[in-house]
A and B are shown apart, each in its own frame.
Chain A
């Protein structure tokens, strides 16, 4: 079945440092890929998405490129801020038939803490 693996956390950075959170996936066909962010006490917010190979999703300074050859979708940001402290989830929506439309498969989440 579909699966997503994220790098182990937590990740602790100083403000303005470069961020990378690794994400790799296993899926049949050509899944859509997503990054979600969860702030304390809240639900998940969609951060960015990519629907086909070589697509680059970007939002709020975050970027991720859909790499089919390495089955990866790593999240990057050039300069993190304290306000970026949250939990980040990589997710995929499979394309193996119509039954996958409403189902996301998530990674285990990576806790990011940014210090001033």
Chain B
């Protein structure tokens, strides 16, 4: 079974621009979660989508948004980029079951200049 895929793997943007990141979950997984990883703040939860609906949201400004499509693929969007948005953005798909264990993609490395 193919793992979680994220595109692109690397991205360089300029302050003020916007960016869209894509995530394809493991086949059969309907929940997709997004995390931001930075050296200073560690791993922080952004949001979770399940069946095209946002089910949970972390403490990030409204510039961060996402959506999920009927095939469970998800995108996240960051508008008006700031230098502090430079990070590794990780997507995870959740396996149904008691533990709801999450499987992560390789991440998208976003650099804002």
Q: Is the interface of B mostly helix, strand, loop or mixed?
A: strand
Are A99 and B102 closer than 8 Å at their CB atoms? no
What residues on A are CB-neighbors of B33 within 8 Å? 102-104
Interface residues of B (CB under 8 A from A): 4, 31-33, 35, 42-43, 45, 48-50, 55-56, 58, 90, 92, 94, 98-107
Kindly specify which of A18-26, A41-49, A73-81 makes contact with the partner chain.
A41-49
In the bound complex, CA of A100 to CA of B31 (Å): 12
A108 at the interface (CB under 8 A from B): yes
A32 at the interface (CB under 8 A from B): yes
Q: Which of A43, A45, A101, A108 contacts B94 (CB 8 A)?
A: A101
Encoded as 1 (CB less than 8 Å from any B CB) or 0, chain A from 103 to 116 comes to 11111110000000
Are A102 and B56 closer than 8 Å at their CB atoms? yes
In the bound complex, CA of A44 to CA of B101 (Å): 12
Chain B proximity of A84: nearest CB distance (Å): 19
Chain A proximity of B72: nearest CB distance (Å): 12
Are B55 and A102 closer than 8 Å at their CB atoms? yes
Chain A proximity of B87: nearest CB distance (Å): 13
